[in-house]
Structure formats: C-alpha cells, structure tokens
A and B are shown apart, each in its own frame.
Chain A
Amino acid sequence: MKKLFIVIALLVMTVSISMAGILEDVQKKGILTCGVSEGVPGFSIPDSNGHWVGFDVDLERAVAAAVLGDPQKINFVPLASKQKIIAASSGQVDLVSRTTTWTMKRDAKQGVDFTKIVFYDGQGFMVPKALGVDSAKKIDGATICVTAGTTSELNLADFARANDMKIEALVFDGKKEAISAYSAGRCDAFTTDVSQLASLRTTLANPKDHVILPEVISKEPLAPFVRHGDNQWKDTVTWIINGLIEAEENGITAANVHEMKKNSKNPVIQRMLGTSGDTGSYINLDKDWLVRAISAVGNYGEIYDRHFGPTTKLNIPRGNNNLWTQGGLIYALPIR
C-alpha cells in the first residue's frame, strides 16, 4: 500500500516537473510557504504575541529575505511530524525546516531533497554540576535515567560497551517521569537528545546546577528540505544557508553587513556580498541576496545564539554545531 502511494506521489511529481520551478512560483506569488513544527522549544514556537520564533523559523526568514526581499513575506504552516514529508513532496509548502533528521530513506525514497545540515543533534548527557564530571567518558559506574522504548536506551548500551564502562540504566515510561526521577536524585545522569535535554533542564528547580556534557553519542543531523526534483530551488535554499554559515566564518553580522559590503577589501567577502562578481546570478537571485538574508536574521552564529545561546534559557553548548575552525562540524562550501 505504502509503495503504491509513493509511486503515485512520484507520478504527480513527474507531472509537476514540467511546470515552472518553485523559485519562480514563489516570486510570482510574492510569498514563501514554509512548514514548521507545532511547537518545539528553540526551533519553532508561536510566542505570546502570535509570531513564529525559533531557529528553524529564522532560517526560513533568511530564505524569504534573499528570495523576496522581505523576511516577513512568509506563510508559516504548522505540520505534524507525520505530515512533514508529504507536505513538501506534494507541493503544499515550498520549504520545510522542522527538526527533521536527514536519513537515507527520506532523501532517496520519499520524494524530498535535503538542503544542508543546520543542526547536529544527537543523544547527550546531563549531570548535576556538583558531580564534577566534564566528560561522558568519566561516568563509569553511574546510574542513568533513560526513557523506555526509544533508541536512547539502545544507544546508551552501545556507548557503554564501546567504551568498556559499566552503566546502570534506570528506565522510565515517559520523559516527564524520567526527568523528575533525575531531579529527585535517583540517578546520576539523564540522557536523551541534546536539544530536549536543554528544554527539560529549564523545568528543573535550579537549571544552573546542571550541565550538558559535550559528548554526543548518536547522529541526528537536522536539515531543511524541499520537494524532490526541483534542483534549482534546492540550490537556492542550500546556498543561502551556506552563505549564513560563511558569513559567521568571515565575521559578517547583521550589524556590520552594510558596512562590510562598502569597505571590505577581503575578496571572499566581496564575492559574498556582491561587491565583486555576481554570485547571486548562480542561484537566480540578484547581487544583494546574502546582504538581505544576513541583515534580516544575522549569520549562522547569531541565529544559533538567539535561540540556543548562553543568554537563552535553553543554553545548549555549541559542541558539534560550532564552526569547523572552532572544532565543530559546521562547514560552509566556498562561495565563488
């Protein structure tokens, strides 16, 4: 049955490939339709004033700014987890950035194309500061709270065996139960995906007394995705994200982007901001594509800090999400 649906979906898509690309459609409509979650802390959430905010939201605003010249020209569509792939593959939305792990099956079989990894999530550990532990390799002999039936439990066992440690897992049915057991001191550490650790930490009595350890023991690379088959649109989105990352590497921020454009002598920056050459034309945009994106939401680091940085309640250490020059995995391809 599932195969049948996919075949039909692909048929529908082959029909649509002959039509105009998403980029032209978006520019003609003057509005970008974006999929977001129904509420994941830090990634996309409706705030008290009825605006979407979050890391995923800002990436989509950057695309809107580059493509349409206005970060507000977005129609956000909340998508349930089960809808997100089909919403993109059937063309209901132009772009989805919704805490989605880039997997082989989704990319190759389900009619969507991933653009670029923007957040390396994965299973991590949280411990009380008082324990004095600074690395997950040092938790030998600890009791660890974990939720049942999730891959977290398996990953934890694998991690313990691979590092030749004895770890006792205390298994709970739900996240709420597990975190309250942890806060009651029934276990030494708590493990789940890092982004969730951060949001669960804020619910503890004294969030500052707990640290998230830098090690990540599973791979959950999150990436925005578009419909399969429209390579031009995929290129546009991918390179806008590359541009945001490259901007952080070169110190271009929302505050100094206009000044940099005018005065910078660095040829890399000149190419990015359209002072020399016309990189925008490669992705069917104008020269100022990246200037608009950066001045709307800032560079990658600014976006990260706004939603996960030390000043926020979530306070997720950058870890793998640091630039490659700082020991992380975030690496932009050269813009030229």
Chain B
Amino acid sequence: MIYKPLPDLPPPLESVGLIGWIKENLFSSKLNSLLTIIATVFLWKAVPPLLSWAIFDASWALSSTENACSPEKHGACWTFIFEKFRVLMFGLYPEQYLWRPILTFVIFLTVCSLTIFRILRTKLLITLWFILPLPLFLLINGGMGLDIVEQSLWGGLMLSIELAAIGILMSIPLGIVLALGRRSDLIVVKTLCISAIESIRGVPLITILFMASVMLPIFLPEGMNFNNLLRVQIGIILFSSAYIAEVVRGGLQAIPPGQIEAASSLGLKRWKVTYLVVLPQALHHVIPSLIGRCVALFKDTSLVIIVGLLDFLGMIKASAQDPEWLGNDTEAYVFCALIYWIICFSMSQYGKSIERRNQW
C-alpha cells in the first residue's frame, strides 16, 4: 500500500480572493477600517457629481450651436474645448500653413516613439535628436522657400512643447560642460562655471524671464531687437542648464578616482578618460534626476505667460476670456491639467522604464 497524503484543504475563505484582499488591505486594523469608511463616504459624495458634471450632463456637441452650452445645463461645456481646440494647440498660426506644425508634431512623435521603443541604436538616436530641431524649426518658422510665419503667432501646446524640447536638448550638453568645468583644475574655468551656475540657480526662473523680456530691450541699442521668443528661450536654456550641471556633478562625484587613474595609466588622453570612462557612467547614475529635471522644465514653461507669450496655459486663459465663451474657466483649466498630466506622466514613466532596464 502506498502512502497517499490527503489533498490540501483550501485556505479559509476569508484569507483569499477578493474578501481576503479587502481584509488584508482595507480592514487590517481599527484605524485602517475607519480610514476606509471615511474614504468610501468621501468618494461616494464626490465621484457621482464629478462624473455627471464631466460626462453625463456635459455638452459634447462638436460644433457650437446656439444651445450647445446653455446656462441652465449644469454639466461641463466640452464644446468650448472643441471650438477652441485649434488655438489651444497651435495658437494663432495661420490656417493655410497649419499642415506645417502638424507635420512637425508627427515627426516629433515618431522620433519620441523610436526613442521609447529603442528601435534605433543609441548613438544614432542621439544624433537624430540633435539634428532634428533645425529642420523642424525651419518647417514651423518658414525660410528655404516656405513663407515666414511671425513668431508672435506661435502659441498653444505647440509653443510649450517647443520651449521645453529645445530647452532640454540645449541645456543638457551645456549643463554637462558646466559640470565638467566646475570640476576642472584650471582656476579661471572653474570660477567662471561656479559663478554662472550659482548666480543662475540663485534666482527664480520668473526673474530670468523678466530680465530677458523686459530689461534686455532697454540696454540693447535700437534695431538690435531680436525677438521676445528667442530671448525667453535663451533664458530657459540658461536656467535649466545650471540645474542640470548640478545634477551631472552629482553623477561625476560618484565615479571613484581609481577609475580615472586606471584609465590614465592605460595611456588614455585626458578628454578620452572623461568621454569614454567618466561621463557614460556618471550620466547613467543621474538619468532619474535628469528626467525629473525635464518634467520640471516642461511645467516651468508655463511661466512664459508673464512675458506675454501665449503658450498652452496662456492660450487656455485667453480662450476663457473670449466674450462669446465667458464662464468656461473650469472646463478650460480641467482640460489644461489633463494634458499637462498626460505629458508629464508619460515622461516619468519613460524615466522609470530606463531605470528598470538599467541600460541606455
């Protein structure tokens, strides 16, 4: 006779499945149970009105008709967003040239997805990212046979992304240079870099934008008026590069000096030691914080409204002031928050995926 153990009994019902999960996570202690009940009551009170405002009672008509958003209706007026969609995305960009920012956006998204799904080799990708801004700028701005579109007409989400993308692309190399300069043995270079970093980090972005757009024109001679957008863009790049320099410096300090000595003893030149040994590892260490800086920079671009640039937030504000559509501020800001959240959340998810793979 062969010994046959009895089959295992199933675990008690209260410790598995849905009930088990609820017991474990929501009612594990008295305090937890109390918090769960309070939270449930709160959600019960808050969610249904929110849903009926945002979805069920809302006006979803695509084009504006007389009664699309009558004051008697209590729901959200999404018709307002549909109506204003074009200016929210592209600002005052002329209609006949609208294909240009759209094409730019498609190219931009393609390169983004190439980056996210790692379809191309890293070196190729980095080259692509740094070559790309020029043709895209020509496409939006005009030149080389395309009609020029004045930069005062740029606006909306297009402008926000442009300011952030150029800001990030330019400030990362500049930030690396500043960080290396700060660790340099040459006293002049070191002093210059430290004073640049510390003086920029010592003031808020809003001050830099004000200096760039309000003060600078006073000092420049007549006819030297290069435009507001460019000045603001330079301000953003300088601001961001100072912060990135500090992030990169953290990475540089994490490289043990033994590595540098070992590389030098192999006969590598100084810049090769930096380029081949120190920088790749240092940057690797700081990727999470770099992504964090990028997200912060994207959100910071909304400050340009104080110098009269109608970026996404600025356009949201201006649209809510349209006499035909007054009183739709809530819809406007909810939409704005949603778009910002989608973009920032995607960026931080991408950052996380890089961390997980732990590779470039």
Query: Does B associate with A?
Result: yes
Asked if A90 and B217 make an inter-chain contact with CB atoms under 8 angstroms apart, the answer reads: yes
Q: Are A313 and B323 in contact (CB under 8 A)?
A: yes
The answer, yes or no, to whether A42 is at the interface (CB within 8 Å) is yes
Do B322 and A83 touch across chains, with their CB atoms under 8 A apart? no
Known: A38-B305, A40-B321. Contact between A50 and B326, CB under 8 A?
no
**Given A15-B222, A41-B326: A48 touches B215 (CB 8 Å cut-off):** no
* A92 touching B308 in the complex, CB below 8 Å, given contacts A49-B95, A202-B326: no
Describe B's contact surface by its main secondary structure: helix
| 8 Å CB contact of A83 from B221, B307, B314, B324 | B307
A91 with B222: CB separation less than 8 A = yes
| B327→A19 contact, CB < 8 A | no
Q: CB within 8 A of A49: which of B86, B306, B327?
A: B86
Docked complex: B210-269 residues within 8 A CB-CB of A: 210, 213-215, 217-223, 225, 228
Fill in one digit per residue for B282-311: 1 if any A CB lies within 8 Å of its CB, else 0: 000000000000000000000001111110
Contacts A91-B222, A202-B327 given; indicate if A50 touches B95 (C-beta within 8 A): yes
A12 vs B306: C-alpha distance in the bound complex, in angstroms?
A: 25
Contact size range, A? 35 or more
| Residues of chain A contacted by B72 (CB below 8 angstroms) | 205
B214 and A82 form a contact (CB under 8 A): yes
Q: Decide if the interface of chain A is mainly helix, strand, loop or mixed.
A: loop
Minimum C-beta distance from A234 to chain B (A): 17
In the complex, whether B190 has a CB less than 8 A from a CB of chain A is no
A326 within 8 A of B: no
A78:B310 contact, CB within 8 angstroms: yes
Which chain B residues border A5 with CB–CB below 8 Å?
Answer: 215, 218
Q: Which residues of B contact A203 (CB under 8 A)?
A: 326-327
A221 within 8 A of B: no
Identify B321's interface contact among A41, A51, A206, CB under 8 A. Answer: A41
CB contact under 8 A between A77 and B228, given known A38-B305, A52-B92, A202-B326: yes
Partner pick for B152 among A42, A76, A90, CB 8 A cutoff: A76
| A268 beta carbon closer than 8 Å to chain B | no
A135 at the interface (CB under 8 A from B): no
Given the complex, which residues of A lie within 8 Å of B322, measured CB to CB? 39, 41, 45-48
- Given the complex, which residues of B lie within 8 Å of A82, measured CB to CB? 210, 214, 306
Evaluate contact between B152 and A45: CB separation under 8 angstroms: no
- In this complex, what residue of A is CB-closest to B218? A9
**In this assembly, does B94 line the interface, its C-beta being within 8 Å of a C-beta of chain A?**
yes
Instruction: Give chain A nearest CB distance to B150 CB in angstroms.
Output: 5
Which B-chain residue is minimally distant from A47 (CB atoms)?
B322
The reply to whether B71 and A46 contact each other, CB–CB distance below 8 Å, is: no
Closest Cβ of chain B to A182, distance in Å, is 14
Which residue in chain B gives the minimum CB-CB distance to A52? B92
Q: A46-B92, A50-B92 are in contact. Are A199 and B326 (CB under 8 A)?
A: yes
Contacts of B222 in A (CB 8 A): 12, 15-16, 19, 91
**A residues near B218, Cβ cutoff 8 Å:** 5, 8-9, 12, 86, 90
Docked-complex contact A313 and B86, CB < 8 angstroms: no
Chain B neighbourhood of A205, CB < 8 A: 71-72
A40, A48, A51: the one contacting B83 at CB < 8 Å is A48
Assembly CA distance A165 to B314 (angstroms): 42
A83 to B216, CA, bound (A): 11
| B-contact 0/1 string along A70-87, CB 8 Å cutoff | 000001111110110011
Q: Is A312 an interface position by the 8 A CB rule?
A: yes
Is A314 an interface position by the 8 A CB rule? yes
> Which residues of A (1-54) have their CB < 8 Å from a CB of B?
5, 8-9, 12, 15-16, 19, 38-42, 45-52
How far apart sit A19 and B221, CA to CA, in the bound complex (Å)?
12
Contact yes or no, A45 B84, CB < 8 A: no
Distance in angstroms from B242 CB to nearest chain A CB is: 24
Cβ–Cβ < 8 Å partners of B76 in chain A: none
Q: Once bound together, how far apart are the Cα atoms of A203 and B71, in whole Å?
A: 9
Cross-chain contact B152 with A77 (CB below 8 angstroms):
yes
Using CB atoms, name the residue of chain A closest to B213: A83
Chain B neighbourhood of A75, CB < 8 A: 150, 152
Q: Within the complex, which residue of B221, B315, B321, B324 is in contact with A12, where a contact is CB–CB below 8 Å?
A: B221
Query: Closest residue of chain B to A312, judged by CB?
Result: B323
Complex CA–CA separation, A312 to B220 (angstroms): 43
Collect the chain A residues with CB atoms within 8 Å of residue B160's CB: none
Of the listed residues B95, B307, B317, B322, the one surrounded by the most CB atoms of chain A closer than 10 A to its CB is B322
- Residue in B86, B90, B92, B305 with the greatest tally of chain A CB atoms within 10 Å: B92
State A314–B48 Cα separation when bound (angstroms): 35
Instruction: Please indicate the chain A residues that have their CB under 8 angstroms from the CB of B314 in the complex.
Output: 38, 78
In chain B, what residue has the closest Cβ to A15? Answer: B222
Contact B323 A83 (CB under 8 A): no
Chain A CB within 8 A of B91 CB: yes
Q: How far is the CA of A144 from the CA of B335 in the complex (A)?
A: 34
- Residue B323 contacts which of A16, A87, A314 (CB distance < 8 angstroms)? A314
Q: With a CB–CB cut-off of 8 A, which chain B residues contact A312? A: 323
How many angstroms from the CA of A286 to the CA of B134 in the assembled complex? 44
CA distance A312 to B321 in the complex (A): 14
Of all A-B residue pairs in the complex, the 9 with the closest CB atoms, nearest first, are A39-B318, A203-B327, A90-B217, A39-B321, A16-B222, A80-B308, A50-B92, A41-B323, A202-B326
Could you list which residues of chain A lie within 8 angstroms of chain B, going by C-beta atoms?
5, 8-9, 12, 15-16, 19, 38-42, 45-52, 75-80, 82-83, 86-87, 90-92, 199, 202-203, 205-206, 307, 312-314
Interface residues of B (CB under 8 A from A): 71-72, 83-84, 86-87, 90-95, 150, 152-153, 155, 210, 213-215, 217-223, 225, 228, 305-310, 314-315, 317-319, 321-324, 326-327
In the complex, besides A78-B310, A202-B323, 20 extra interface pairs with C-beta distance below 8 angstroms are A5-B218, A41-B322, A45-B318, A46-B310, A46-B319, A46-B322, A47-B322, A47-B324, A48-B84, A75-B150, A75-B152, A76-B92, A77-B308, A78-B152, A80-B308, A82-B214, A90-B220, A199-B321, A203-B327, A307-B323
